[in-house]
Structure 1
Amino acid sequence: MTQHVHDHCLSAAAALSPELHHSIERQGVLSPWAAPSLAFPVSLCRSVAGQQLSVKAAASIWARVAALSEAPEGLLEVFCEDQADQMRSCGLSGAKVKTLIAIAEANRQGALEADALRALPPQARSDRLVEIWGVGRWTADMANIFYFGEPDIWPDGDVTARKTLEKLTSKRRKTVRTASRFAPYRSYLARYMWRHADAPPDL
């Protein structure tokens, strides 16, 4: 993140509410996105596995899932119907097991090549991803923000981001409309909201 992006967010926030402006000002310039450490299909599976869980619980379950294979690159080969019971024993729900199997199948069919997906516009990439059973808009938004580094995604399906923005502005105003004021840097607004939610009360 550059000072220019931070200044843009501050300017947009100042026109909306003092609380939002104060939060962004106190957090300062955000650190850059970390480079992805996993192959995209595996990263997508990890995102699905951690949905609606605390960070600690998600990490614990994923550690058990990852142990199903000796190497990360071979993990998707484990995600198949024959291994469904073993996957569930790691703490995955039946729906998540089905989704991971669907992601592995899409990968085998060549539908999840990162370079090909990166060449697509964000909306087209999302549309491609949600064609996979169990992959919804939230998962696609997380992939766009954290894997592909898209700067202008507002994940309105993320409860924490949405509720925090409502708290700092107004519950009567649609968050999609509020977030539009931060274009073309709505992903940074989301990051500010997540950081605010995890921050001490005086932040």
Structure 2
Amino acid sequence: MRAIHTRFIETASELSPELAAAITAVGPREMHSRSDLPFAVALSRSITGQQLSVAAAKTIWGRVEASAGNTPLVEHFCHSRADLLRSCGLSGAKTKAICEIGALAREGGLDDEMLRGLPATERAEHITAIWGVGQWTADMMNMFYFGEPDIWPDGDVAARKTLERLTSKRRKTVRTAQRFAPYRSYLALYMWAHVDAKPV
């Protein structure tokens, strides 16, 4: 991590003194992949928590888990149980997305081993083909579930706006981030740490 940090400071110095200072102040970052849940469940949990406070997301997910009883969550996430899922506090759109995730998982289309074998871009395409799953979600899962080191989540407002502010609004952030490949995920970690924003 120290080597990546040193390289980031050197690269940032060529782009902007403000960016270099921010990265220096934040200090080395570490990537942590969290794959303790089956991917379909982790993806559903991510969808559940979007646009909610951490506390609200935790409460609603707790209700979802409780509503399943002894039924495995992937089996529980089906359209015939949509009313029950909505009663947990899920919106109609989130309920539909989670049910679509469950259906694909039951067909074997979200097998963890299969997904890990795909390049990050193909994996993102596979995930975003699910109704209600967008690029931001795919980026977050690639980073935090699969531990991909080279994802720049340009759809994340906090990461994008922070990079703009520390460099130039006239320069596209995708182009700036390219300078930090193959460790663009770390650039996002630096930007989030700089503004103390929580990505998930």
Question: Structure 1 length normalisation: TM-score?
Answer: 0.91
1:27 and 2:29 correspond: no
What secondary structure sits across from 2:105 in the alignment? helix
**Counterparts of 2:127 and 2:96 in 1: how far apart (Å)?**
15
What secondary structure sits across from 1:150 in the alignment? coil
Residue deviations 1:119-163 (CA, integer Å, cap 9, x gap) = 111111111111111111111111110011000000111111111
CA-atom RMSD, angstroms? 1.6
Are the counterparts in 1 of residues 149 and 184 from structure 2 also a CA contact under 8 Å? yes
The 5 A counterparts of 1:8-157 are 8-70=7-69, 74-157=72-155
Are the counterparts in 1 of residues 33 and 147 from structure 2 also a CA contact under 8 Å? no
1:7 and 2:10 correspond: no
Cα separation, partners in 2 of 1:17 and 1:55, compared to 1, 3 Å: farther
**Counterparts of 1:59 and 1:171 in 2: how far apart (Å)?**
36
Instruction: Please list every run of 5 or more consecutive structure 1 residues that lacks an aligned counterpart in the other structure.
Output: none
Cα separation, partners in 2 of 1:48 and 1:171, compared to 1, 3 Å: same
What secondary structure sits across from 1:120 in the alignment? coil
Residue deviations 1:54-99 (CA, integer Å, cap 9, x gap) = 323222222222222346x811211112221221122211111000
Cα separation, partners in 2 of 1:158 and 1:50, compared to 1, 3 Å: same
Shift in Å, 1:34: 4.4
**Counterparts of 1:156 and 1:32 in 2: how far apart (Å)?**
18
Shift in Å, 1:32: 3.9
What secondary structure sits across from 2:15 in the alignment? coil
Question: Structure 2 length normalisation: TM-score?
Answer: 0.92
**Counterparts of 1:163 and 1:53 in 2: how far apart (Å)?**
20
Instruction: Please list every run of 5 or more consecutive structure 2 residues that lacks an aligned counterpart in the other structure.
Output: none
Are the counterparts in 2 of residues 154 and 187 from structure 1 also a CA contact under 8 Å? yes
Cα separation, partners in 2 of 1:174 and 1:31, compared to 1, 3 Å: same
Number of aligned pairs?
Answer: 197
Cα separation, partners in 2 of 1:132 and 1:27, compared to 1, 3 Å: same
Deviates more, 1:116-125 or 1:48-57: 48-57
Are the counterparts in 2 of residues 68 and 75 from structure 1 also a CA contact under 8 Å? no
Deviates more, 1:18-27 or 1:112-121: 18-27
Identity over aligned pairs, percent: 57
Are the counterparts in 1 of residues 33 and 146 from structure 2 also a CA contact under 8 Å? no
Question: What is the letter of the counterpart of residue 108 of structure 1?
Answer: R
Cα separation, partners in 2 of 1:57 and 1:152, compared to 1, 3 Å: same
**Counterparts of 2:59 and 2:30 in 1: how far apart (Å)?**
26
